[in-house]
Amino acid sequence: MEHWFSLLNSYTGAIIVGVVVGVIVRLRMLRTDYRQYPTYLHGQLIHISLGFIAAGMGAVAVPALIEKQYTAVTFLALAAQQFREVRNMERETLAHLEEDELVPRGSSYIEGIALAFEGRNYAVIMAAFLCSLAVIEIHLWAGVLLGLALIGVAGILRSGKYLGQITSVELGKLRMEGPSLYVDDIYLMNIGLEDNRKRIMNRGIGVVVSPASKDSRITLANLGQRQAILHDLSVVLGVFRDTGEPSLIPLSKRDMEDGRLGILCLPEEKEPEQVLQVIRNVPVLESAVRTPTEGLKMFRGGKKSG
């Protein structure tokens, strides 16, 4: 018994705790949701395997550095290069899948997903490194308790902001003025064929998304963020269209005066409340986030201090 206890408090125990915590952290941040990516089983297996490798590197790095085996830093640098390749792999995979989507994700959405998968591997390395260090320098239970805390933090980091947190999402009224389609007072597009007008009025749902601040107004203006809204709507609720029918594609238009976003969606089932819920749960893309108010404060502060 004493032999096993001493073993767990040695380098072996540190590596075991670090690897276990790292893998659990990766599992905590791995979720297959309505976006269906990563795919069940095969896609998840790839990312779990990469998480195990990342956890192993982070856990082994501490004993290696303590024993003055500084080549471990080289291996960590090599791991960073490999995880950048993972990011490229995800980007290329999703870009190929775009060709089969009736409503594509858009390049900003793809880049955000690829960036998240790369960053999560670095989080695994850090979690395994810290737990391994705690076991060696303090005690086995210190590493275990730190691991539990990091697993909890990983659940928080799994998701960022949602559109409903920075905007107000409400139903709008679709109306036709001749061939022009409006949602409330926001112009959407010109529809030439009478048959398409009837189908849009019968099947379409209009939504108005209003920014809650100047910063969120800039975020809503981003084309990638707007495309992400349309894609998530089509994935969750389906889309009433087929190839070769440009008049039936979901679209968004911005009111230039106040920054409101008018949206036309054509779901398979006309359920307005679900449409609102989906839009509120659309993630805010990192590439779409802008903080002009903060920049203005810094600029004014710089002028005053000068």
pLDDT tens digits along 38-91: 555 666 787 788 888 888 888 888 888 888 777 777 777 777 777 777 788 778
Q: Look at the chain and report how many structural domains it folds into.
A: 2
Q: Which residues of 181-218 are buried (b: 16+ CB within 10 A; e: fewer)?
A: bbbbebebeebeeeebbebbeebbbbbbbbbeeebbbb
Contact of 186 with 260, CB cutoff 8 Å: yes
- Asked if residue 302 belongs to a domain, the reply is no
- Asked if residue 190 belongs to a domain, the reply is yes
Query: Which of the listed residues 157, 192, 208 is the one where a domain comes to its end?
Result: 157
Are residues 129 and 178 located together in one domain of the fold? no
pLDDT tens for each residue of 211-256:
988 888 888 888 888 999 998 888 888 887 777 666 778 889 998 8
Query: Which of the listed residues 157, 182, 208 is the one where a domain comes to its end?
Result: 157
Are residues 143 and 75 located together in one domain of the fold? yes
- Asked if residue 297 belongs to a domain, the reply is no
Domain span at 93: 2-157
Q: Which of 121, 200, 185 is nearest to 154 (CA)?
A: 121
Residues 6+ apart with CB under 8 A from 71: 64
Are residues 9 and 150 located together in one domain of the fold? yes
Could you count the other beta carbons within 10 Å of the beta carbon of residue 22? Answer: 32
- Asked if residue 199 belongs to a domain, the reply is yes
Are residues 183 and 81 located together in one domain of the fold? no
- Asked if residue 99 belongs to a domain, the reply is yes
- Asked if residue 140 belongs to a domain, the reply is yes
Are residues 119 and 262 located together in one domain of the fold? no
- Asked if residue 121 belongs to a domain, the reply is yes
Are residues 146 and 76 located together in one domain of the fold? yes
Per-residue pLDDT band for 305 (boundaries 50, 70, 90) equals very low
Are residues 63 and 143 located together in one domain of the fold? yes
Residue 124 has pLDDT above 80, yes or no: yes
Describe the crossing of helices 140-157 and 11-28 by its angle, rounded to 10 degrees.
20
Residues 6+ apart with CB under 8 A from 20: 55, 147
pLDDT tens for each residue of 198-207:
888 888 899 9
Contact of 181 with 151, CB cutoff 8 Å: no
**pTM for this predicted structure:** 0.77
Per-residue pLDDT band for 4 (boundaries 50, 70, 90) equals very low
Are residues 133 and 203 located together in one domain of the fold? no
Q: What pLDDT is attached to residue 244?
A: 65
- Asked if residue 295 belongs to a domain, the reply is no
Are residues 208 and 149 located together in one domain of the fold? no
Are residues 222 and 138 located together in one domain of the fold? no
C-alpha 251/C-alpha 229 separation (Å) is 9
Are residues 21 and 121 located together in one domain of the fold? yes
Query: Which of the listed residues 113, 134, 157 is the one where a domain comes to its end?
Result: 157
Are residues 220 and 117 located together in one domain of the fold? no
